[in-house]
Structure 1
Amino acid sequence: MRENMACRFCPKIKKYDVIWVIFVCVAMWGVNKYQNYKIEQREQQKFKDFELLQKKCLYGDNGACKILYQKQ
């Protein structure tokens, strides 16, 4: 048949195979983006809570100071 072709694998690749690979890559990228967004939101919330505890401790709330020093 096509004995003189340099690549014998290329004729076996079908158009829907390429489309399927692209679809899977885009889906994995979307899931990764979503998970990173959720992790970032959680970290920002922890930082805001920690900042609030620091402010409360600074203004004389002894309960906040106890919680703050237990975390460190």
Structure 2
Amino acid sequence: MHKTLFILGRERVGKGTGLRILAGLMPVGYGSVQLDKLLTADRFQLTGIIGKNIIADAELKRKYKRGTVKDWKI
């Protein structure tokens, strides 16, 4: 079973701090990846996140316009 948590909000309210705390609590099970690179056909983007319990992309809001709907079928 997979679970997803999206933490959205305006700037400077602690979203990045929460990610750094999670990374500190789980240094072995934490991985970071850029979502736009993951959605491409480059299969080698997954090598850094295999076996990780938490995967984060802290810069998501800068890459996608507000209100953009994506169809992510995996």
TM value normalised by structure 1: 0.27
Higher strand share: 2
Of structures 1 and 2, the one with the larger relative CO (CA 8 A, separation 6+) is: 2
State which structure, 1 or 2, has the greater radius of gyration over its C-alpha atoms.
1
Structure having the larger proportion of residues in helix? 1
